[in-house]
C-alpha cells in the first residue's frame, strides 16, 4: 500500500521518513517528496494529503529540541529493534534446543 492510498483510506495526512534517496522509488504521482532541514542536517520524507510547508512544520513539531527524528518515531524504532533482537535470540535458542 502506498502512502497516498493510506492517506486516502485514513482521511488523514501521512508523512513517511525515507532513507536518503528512497523517496523517489516509493512515491506515486500524488506523493510529495521533501528534503527538510532539521538541526543542521536534512531529512528526506514523503508526504501525501498535506502540502510541503505543512508537512515540514508537522515534522519539526514532533522533534525534541536536539533531535532530527520525531520522538514517537525514535521510540518506535527502538522498540522494533528490541523485538527483532528478542525474536532472533528465541530462534537461536530453539535451534540449539532442537539440536541436542
Rounded CA gap, 25 and 100, in Å? 46
Q: Are 36 and 45 in contact (CB under 8 A)?
A: yes
Question: pLDDT higher for 20 or 47?
Answer: 47
Percent of the chain with pLDDT over 90: 40
Question: In this predicted structure, which of 23-37, 43-57, 71-85 has the lowest mean pLDDT?
Answer: 23-37
* Residue listed under C-alpha cell 528534503: 35
Lowest mean pLDDT among 7-11, 32-36, 80-84, 85-89: 85-89
**H/E run at residue 62:** none
pLDDT grade for 59, boundaries at 50, 70 and 90:
very high
Residue 22 confidence (pLDDT): 47
How many Cα atoms within 13 Å fall on the side-chain side of residue 33? 13
The pLDDT, as a whole number, for residue 71 is 92
What per-residue confidence (pLDDT) applies to 67?
86
What per-residue confidence (pLDDT) applies to 23? 45
Amino acid at each position: 500500500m502506498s502512502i497516498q492510498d493510506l492517506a486516502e483510506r485514513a482521511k488523514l495526512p501521512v508523512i513517511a521518513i525515507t532513507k536518503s534517496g528512497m523517496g523517489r522509488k516509493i512515491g506515486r504521482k500524488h506523493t510529495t517528496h521533501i528534503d527538510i532541514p532539521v538541526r543542521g542536517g536534512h531529512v528526506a520524507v514523503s508526504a501525501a494529503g498535506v502540502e510541503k510547508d505543512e508537512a515540514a512544520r508537522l515534522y519539526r513539531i514532533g522533534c525534541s529540541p536536539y533531535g532530527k527524528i520525531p520522538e514517537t518515531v525514535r521510540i518506535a524504532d527502538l522498540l522494533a529493534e528490541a523485538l527483532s533482537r528478542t525474536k532472533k535470540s528465541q530462534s537461536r535458542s530453539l535451534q540449539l534446543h532442537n539440536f541436542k
